[in-house]
Amino acid sequence: MAYKIKIEPEAHEDIQQGIDWYNEKQLGLGRKFHKEVKDSINRLKENPFFQVRYKNVHCLPLKNYPYMLHFTINKKDKIVVVRAVFNTSRNPDIWKKR
């Protein structure tokens, strides 16, 4: 049985900021970034057990962009909660404050 995905509002903001930034660099690049984020999130439905980075927070790096999905897993209810889509060049202390 596949896991359900819940995306926190802050993670939605992270995604939109990434889309906007990449579109400023090159028209259409934001769309490609968004597709890769969606594809990565969809991967979590079948296999959410990636590296644990912060206590119970798992991380999945994007393949072609310097971002990582930060998420938690509720095994009992089979829900993955995406907490952030974080640029890896940012200060990790920002993530820890969420």
By the 10 Å C-beta count (0-12 exposed, 13-18 middle, 19+ buried), 48 is classed as: buried
Strands (DSSP E) along 1-98, which ranges? 4-7, 52-54, 57-61, 67-74, 79-87
CATH, domain range 4-88:
3.30.2310.20
Q: What is the pLDDT along the chain (98 residues), one digit of tens a residue?
A: 799 999 999 999 999 999 999 999 999 999 999 999 999 999 999 999 888 877 889 999 999 999 999 999 999 999 999 999 999 887 666 666 66
Closest C-alpha among 2, 4, 7 to residue 69: 7
Give pLDDT, residue 95.
61
Q: What is the pTM of this model?
A: 0.87
The domain spans of the chain are 4-88
